Amino acid sequence: MSRQYLLTVLAVLATASSINAQILSCADVECPITKGITSATCTVVDKIFNAVGVVPLEYIGDDLKGLSWTKAVGAVDASSDREYDQSFYLGTPLGVRLPASCAVFFNKVSDRVRFGDDDPKRSKGTCNQAMTDGCINALIKRALEVDLSGNDTCEKLQTEFLGNLDSECASFATGNNWVDVTAVDLVGDGSPQPIDSHKNASSDCWPTSPKNNDLRLVHSTNSTGDFGAETMVKHFFGVTPILTVFFPAGDNEASVSQAEAQLTCIKAIDLTTTSNATQTQAEGTSDAIRGSGVSMVLVGIMTVVFAAMLA
Ligand SMILES: *[C@@H]1O[C@H](CO)[C@@H](O)[C@H](O)[C@H]1NC(C)=O
Ligand SMILES: *[C@@H]1O[C@H](CO)[C@@H](O)[C@H](O)[C@H]1NC(C)=O
Ligand SMILES: *[C@@H]1O[C@H](CO)[C@@H](O)[C@H](O)[C@H]1NC(C)=O
Ligand SMILES: *[C@@H]1O[C@H](CO)[C@@H](O)[C@H](O)[C@H]1NC(C)=O
């Protein structure tokens, strides 16, 4: 292990454990509220979401301050099942030039990837809580050991993770290998572009912070499930690990001087400005009211889904 590499890993770990467990919700980014209920209906271009989570990336350098990931989840009912859309957006300060970089999404992980035993609808934390330091280190090490030069870096990363499951991460995969890993090139040909004001005309929501960020739709997955509440909670509020890898590339002016990888564990949070107000009011009164406040939020999301089905 080279010294420089070790220093990179240590630097990443140091920042990873020092940041606060902060995932912003619809209450923070002020998603529009669905009429008559407490849940959100957040339209971004042609997608409609009911819950979001926003997590800042760690400090990479002065030229790259303020990047963040947003996970936004929506659901539509078909006749026999419910279809979920989980979409991932990169938030960047206006005009930032991205260095060569890939985002690696671990779309399918085991139920052990969670923030403790807290209510999954509201739970938040960092990767140190959702996984283990050993697994985080192994993922970062593996990414930085891939030959990141050349044109097909993201493909190489995807192949590397699909073919190799580190023992430290074994309990976080659903089988003997990672499955459903997607790596997206953030700057190459055909890479995701910021949503421009023309495309944005249909949006009523901008789930990022600060509000003047650009947003790029980087990745989305569709899944289906039955109509049960448990299925809904799992699809809406599951944790997705995203490994963001920045690497030097000669022809990129914004290039970083050495490769860096960081893991973000992101999930949507069941909180809106209205449900927060309801909950805050309930705090001083009885548990019964507080309890019903929370289940109302779930009912709220379900109502949206049923309304969408009838429309
Ligand atoms: C929730 O409500 C409390 C009390 O009004 C407020 O202090 C807090 O900032 C709100 N949280 C969010 C995320 O909006
Ligand atoms: C990368 O792509 C460019 C343009 O398509 C090509 O000129 C260059 O040789 C490629 N580099 C490598 C290492 O494959
Ligand atoms: C897109 O629309 C939303 C909602 O109207 C707005 O908050 C946001 O600033 C807009 N962004 C761009 C880039 O036009
Ligand atoms: C997911 O489903 C929506 C609506 O049915 C569709 O517009 C979108 O293209 C699908 N996305 C993927 C990644 O399949």
Atom of ligand 2 at shortest range from CA of 152? 14
pTM: 0.86
pLDDT, tens digit (0-9, with 9 covering 90-100), for 243-269: 999 999 877 778 898 999 999 999 999
- The pLDDT score that the predictor gives to residue 283 is 52
- The pLDDT score that the predictor gives to residue 282 is 58
Report how far ligand 3's centroid is from the alpha carbon of 198 (Å): 10
- Residue 22: CB within 6 Å of ligand 1? no
Report how far ligand 3's centroid is from the alpha carbon of 94 (Å): 12
- The pLDDT score that the predictor gives to residue 9 is 45
Report how far ligand 3's centroid is from the alpha carbon of 174 (Å): 38
Q: Which of 105, 182, 202, 222 to mutate to test the pocket of ligand 4 (most atoms within 8 A of CB)?
A: 222
Q: Which residues line ligand 2 (CB under 6 A)?
A: 150-151
Q: From CA 201, how far away is CA 196, in angstroms rounded?
A: 9
Q: From CA 45, how far away is CA 48, in angstroms rounded?
A: 8
Q: Is the pLDDT of residue 307 over 90?
A: no
Q: Is the pLDDT of residue 294 over 70?
A: no
Ligand located closest to 200 CA? 3
Q: Is the pLDDT of residue 10 over 90?
A: no
pLDDT, tens digit (0-9, with 9 covering 90-100), for 164-187: 999 999 999 999 999 999 999 999
Q: Is the dihedral of CA 112, 117, 120, 123 positive or negative?
A: negative
Q: Is the pLDDT of residue 309 over 50?
A: no
Angle, CA 218 vertex, CA 214 and CA 219 arms, to 5°: 145
Residues making up the chain, counted from first to last: 311
pLDDT, tens digit (0-9, with 9 covering 90-100), for 82-138: 999 999 999 999 988 999 999 999 999 999 999 988 899 999 999 999 999 999 999
